[in-house]
Structure 1
Amino acid sequence: MTDTTSVARPQSQSEPLVAPFAGWLVHPDWAERVISRAYDNLSAQQRRALVAANPYSYMNVTRSREDLYDNTDLSHQDLAIEGASALTRLLSSNAFSPTGRPALYLYRLTHKQGMQTGVVCTVPVRGFDDGRIRIHENVHDERADLLTAHLQGVGATSSPVAMAVRSTAELGNQLFDITSSTPADLEFGSTAVRHQIWTVPDSHTEQLAAAFDHHALYVTDGHHRSAAAVRALAAEPDNPVLARTLAVVFPDEQLHVQAFHRLAVDQHHRGVEDCLTALDDVAEVTPVFSAMQARPLKRGFAGLYLGGSWHQMELPPAVGNGAVNGLDVERLRRSILDPVLGADELGQPGAVDYVPASLGLDELARRCDAESRVGFALFPLSVRELMAVADENGLMPPKSSFFAPKPRSGVFLRVLGRGATSHLPAS
């Protein structure tokens, strides 16, 4: 069935939407040491502890300033040099092996909520401009610039941008046929989340790639990595390696969304009572006894943490039409964060920070207490809400959704032939 909200590939565009790549895979004997959890799944403190304890974790390659105990004034280029050094250590240890041929891969995550199977591939960076790949979130320039420097200086990518495609019976049948006919090439993880990797046989590759023709892809996790790919190609428009970026595409019906909670700084430096009064002037705020009572159970409500106490808050009505304006994250930004707290989420670095729902409300409260911030616990969006925003070319605030579980870093390498891989052929 044709999806009327997707777009056909422009006739002038010869590059495929989904394509195989000649990547490298982590050696099974190294998987436990190298493969690392997604960056957003860990706090800065957890990331610091991880890289200090394990020099072979792929997290060493992708560190940012807050992941370092010292040298926090390092430039983006300095951090890229550090990442290249960590990648060189992995390559010298033969932690990764080249697959020797262009291939697609299947990545399955099995967890208590169900199972999701995605196609690991490369996608065209120009697809972000021509409508074939759609985004729904704004980005912070600081983070996007760091990841651009990473692309330009480290020499490989290993964290695929996660995307969704509208589910079809054709795609589902192909994924089932491949995974049911052969055992996985690699398995790792835990009883909570089991990760499995299959190499797609040559006989299935062309047909599987063709299943994505005439459909749009939607970025679900990795907007900053997407922005970095666009910026890197803009800096080197004739570089064929930078013309594509690593991605994993899941059928949308298999995905699960969690909220990204907000921690905002009251830029007016008011005391707890004055700040609470200002919030109560624009939203209905009700004190509650615990985080459990404050946890929002439906759209339009948020938990509020301020001065050691929890409250339930009904968000002000939406301002304007359009899919994005009705979302809780946008209602919070436009009616509370900016006008009441003076915290410009889009233009003021550090005014708003984020805690994924997976870390729990206790972590939100701990961070608020330690950093004198105001906490907002939000109800999660749905996948189809995100797609509706993207179809309208709308943009939510950064970190508006948290997809879990996430594919991990350090499983694949797409070699870029520069930095630590300047001596290797690009893939």
Structure 2
Amino acid sequence: MPKIKPFKGVRAAADKAAHLISRTYQDYGKKELKAQLKYNPYSFLQILNPGYKFNQEISGIERFSLVRNRYLEFKEEGYLIQDEQPAFYLYENIDPHHSYTGIIAGTSTKDYQDNKIKKHEDTLSFKEVLFKDYLKSAGFNAEPVLLTYKDRPDINQMIDQVKKRQPDTFFSTTDFNSHKIWAITDPQMIESLEKQFQEIPELYIADGHHRSASSSLLSQEMDPDQESYHYFMSLLIAENQLNIYEFNRQIKDLNGLTKEEFLIQLDQNFRIQNRGIELYKPSKKHHFSMYLDGEFYSLYLRKGLYEISNPLQDLDTQMLYDLILKPILGIQDLRTDQRIKYSYGKHDIMHIKERVDSKEFAVGFGLFPATVEQMKSIADADLRMPPKSTFIRPKLPSGLIIYEF
């Protein structure tokens, strides 16, 4: 059964917390990143982008060691403070539309290797190695892996009990998110949580496949007695709290086909309805929206023509690949083909229209979101989703709680 452990987290000083945490590094455009580095000396981005101090781009192992230096400087300045006692951390995130609560803990790399922590996405080996080297050089991990489990009343009861007291940390950020943290240090409560999670048959990775794979690689390089390397930081959250959104697709060309030829080939597997200028979004699985040459279309899978023999084939992103992207548009490798791009968001259907109207792309496809049940059934069958099949919230900020090796 999955094993979790408390750890001595490193957290921002109370008066710096709202300024210190950041979104994941790759989420920033160049202009926004530059502004954050210029005007916010407390931002965790100062640690992740150590070359800014020297006004130059630094990469590779040299960057990793400088990240370590900036991190130690933040601790020396008192911006970051390590807790004196090992703890589990109850974390609540409240945004304008949802509230999420989960437990931040160390989770076992052996459980990951033994498939007690199940995966639904493939990882790229070069990224695994790169992040493994980063973790080893930097000596800390600042972004938890998002793990999910079937809702349990006993864990919910303990969470409710902890939330009756005032949080240790409570602050809001300019994206209209509120963040609350309670450190759980009571030995009896820690023991109870460990036992409760040991009764759960398996955990599922919702987000963070590369981070967990890299942590597993690192653990295999380290001695067994170096215990901290054999765990990785995770946010454990009940699956009924997850929100899964769709990733849509845009393709740069029609693979040499005219619009009419393309529609005729689509007609082999789909009932096609022209929706004109209606901003059409699919309303259930196996339905797709398409924007082509100034018009929206609904695509309904023709019954009986596509054999579904495993959970992966029931997934819309796989179906789109099997029936359209590969055979008609010639997209072979979804990870490397530069003709396909991915996007998501509440208003993404308008974004698709704008990108196609600008001639940047020839066609765009809107999908219906996958479900937690689909994600779990694919992981249980030891299958892997196509890349960019799910966009899952909550998204945890960097630097909220830091796990030191």
Pairwise TM-score range, normalised by the shorter structure? 0.7 to 0.9
Deviation at residue 378 of structure 1 after TM alignment: 1.4
Aligned equivalents of 1:52, 1:255: Cα separation in 2: 35
Alignment partner of 1:388 is 2:377: yes
Which residue in the other structure is 2:52 paired with? none
What is the aligned partner in structure 2 of residue 406 from structure 1? Answer: 395
Question: 2-side partners of 1:145 and 1:287: how far apart?
Answer: 47
Q: Secondary structure at the match of 2:163?
A: helix
Secondary structure of 2:218's counterpart equals helix
Distance 1:186 1:332 in 2: 45
CA gap of 1:187–1:293, structure 2 versus 1, over 3 A, is same
Q: Structure 1 residue 187 and structure 2 residue 170: aligned? A: yes
Other structure's SS at 2:227 match: coil
Distance 2:7 2:132 in 1: 21
SS of alignment partner, residue 212 of structure 1: helix
- Cα deviations across residues 320-367 of structure 1 (Å, max 9, x unaligned)? 412221011111122222222222345525454322324633334455
- TM-score (normalised: structure 2): 0.84
Question: Secondary structure at 2:237's aligned position in 1?
Answer: strand
Shift of residue 84, structure 1, vs aligned partner: 3.6
- Do the aligned partners of 1:337 and 1:345 also contact (CA within 8 Å) in 2? no
TM-score (norm 1): 0.80
1:230 maps to 2:216: yes
Q: Give the alignment partner of residue 293 of structure 1, picking from 268, 279, 293.
A: 279
Measured in 1, the distance between the counterparts of 2:27 and 2:130 equals 19
Q: Which residue identity does 2:235 align to in structure 1? A: V
1:134 to 115, 118, 121: 118
- Deviation per CA, 1:91-113: give whole Å up to 9, x if none: 34322101012110001123455
User: Which consecutive unaligned segments of at least 5 residues does structure 1 have?
Assistant: 1-8, 10-15, 64-68, 417-427
- More displaced, 237-246 or 364-373? 364-373
Q: Within 5 Å, which residues of 2 pair with 1:189-204?
A: 189=172, 192-202=176-186, 203-204=188-189
C-alpha change, 1:162 and 1:298, in structure 2 (3 Å) is same
- Partners in 2 of 1:222 and 1:253 — Cα distance? 19
Quick check: which has more Rg, 1 or 2? Answer: 2
Q: Residue 147 of structure 1 aligns with which residue?
A: 131
SS at match of 2:135: helix
* Distance change >3 Å, CA 309–CA 192, structure 1 → 2: farther
Distance (Å, rounded) in 2 between the aligned partners of 1:146 and 1:244: 18
Q: Map 1:368-387; keep pairs closer than 5 Å.
A: 369=358, 371-372=360-361, 374-387=363-376
Q: Which amino acid aligns with 1:189?
A: S
CA distance in 2, matches of 1:286, 1:301: 11
Residues 1:208 and 2:193 aligned together: yes
> Could you tell me which residue of structure 2 aligns to residue 421 of structure 1?
none
CA pair 187-273 structure 1, distance change in 2 beyond 3 A: farther
Name the structure 2 match of 1:97: 81
1:174-233, CA deviations, whole angstroms, 9 ceiling, x for partnerless residues? 1101111x1011123358432211101314111112211131111111112122222333
Match of 1:337 in 2: 325
CA contact (8 A) 2:250 2:365 kept: yes
Contact 1:266 1:342 in 2 (8 A): no
1:221-370 residue pairs with structure 2 within 5 A?
221-236=207-222, 238=224, 240-266=227-253, 268=255, 275=262, 278-290=265-277, 293-307=279-293, 309-315=295-301, 318-348=306-336, 350-358=338-346, 360-367=348-355, 369=358
Tell me: CA distance 1:370–1:29, structure 2 relative to 1, closer, same or farther (3 Å).
farther
Which amino acid in structure 2 is aligned with residue 331 of structure 1? M
- Is the 8 Å Cα contact of residues 123 and 209 (structure 2) preserved in structure 1? yes
Does the Cα contact within 8 Å between 2:85 and 2:185 map onto a contact in 1?
Answer: no
Paired residue type of 1:250: I
| Structure-2 separation of matches of 1:131 and 1:366 | 43
Q: 1:131 to 1:140 in 2, by over 3 A?
A: closer
**Bigger CA drift: 263-272 or 398-407?**
263-272
* Residue segments in structure 2 that go unaligned for 5+ positions in a row: 50-54
Shift in Å, 1:141 = 4.2
Count of paired positions: 394
What amino acid is the match of 2:7? F
Q: 2:153 aligns with which of 162, 169, 191?
A: 169
Residue 295 (structure 1) shift: 1.3
SS at match of 1:354: strand
Aligned counterparts of 2:217 and 2:17: Cα–Cα separation in 1: 31
Please report how far the alpha carbon of residue 310 of structure 1 lies from its aligned counterpart in structure 2 after TM superposition. Answer: 3.4
Query: Are the structure 2 counterparts of residues 70 and 389 from structure 1 closer, same or farther at C-alpha, using a change threshold of 3 Å?
Result: farther
C-alpha distance in 1 between matches for 2:45 and 2:362: 28
Judge conservation of contact 1:344–1:351 (CA < 8 Å) in 2. Answer: no
Check whether the contact 2:331–2:337 (CA below 8 A) recurs between aligned residues: no
Q: Which residue of 1 aligns with 2:19?
A: 33
Task: Give the counterpart letter for 1:196 in structure 2.
Answer: K
